[in-house]
Amino acid sequence: MENEKQMYIEECGLLFEKLGLTRMAGRAFGYLVVCDEDHVSFKQIQEALKASKGSISGTMKQLVQTGMAEAVSLPGDRKTYYRISKIKIGDMIRQRISQFIELADTLQKGDDLKNREDETSGWLTEASTFYYWIGDQLDGIIKTWENEKQKIIQQYHANKKEHST
């Protein structure tokens, strides 16, 4: 594998680690991005990343659960293949919104179960309200994105070109 691609894979690993996922998940995701194939086998990922079977197994499970990768099966082939997820970005964010709402519900329930008002109660109220609010805000942003996606992409890339020259 080319050096630039290997560096990109490592950059993804470090980024994912910053985001609270594992470095190996980032490396596997980076590999799926730059491998130039529609899908790759478990074994290909394992060999490319020089990682154990157990490490890749947990990693691919994590990427599939987060919606960043998906498992693919081919007719007549018993192997599992993986690729970057084909889930629309809006749907992926909607899944996160539902997790925000679930977290807000859980925080609110915890606050309701407390027998006294204290600093923790204030934090629980603020945090749960924020997660409800951000879910509403993101839903509106996703709707705008879905309605104006092509225009936004064109504008963004035109502005990016303008600023890079």
Classify each residue of 115-132 as buried b or exposed e, where b means 16 or more C-beta atoms within 10 Å of its C-beta. Answer: eeeeeeeeebeeebeebb
How are strands ordered across the β-sheet holding 69-72?
A: 40-41, 81-84, 69-72
Domain 3-84 class, CATH top level: mainly alpha
Q: With 0-12 CB in 10 A as exposed, 13-18 as middle and 19+ as buried, what is 15?
A: middle
Per-residue model confidence as pLDDT tens digits over 22-77 = 999 999 999 999 999 999 999 999 999 999 999 999 999 999 998 899 999 999 99
Residue 91 gets which letter from DSSP?
Answer: H
Domain range summary for the chain, segments of one domain joined by +:
3-84, 89-164
Could you give the CA distance from residue 116 to residue 125 in angstroms, rounded to a whole number? 13
| pLDDT level of residue 165 (50, 70, 90 thresholds) | low
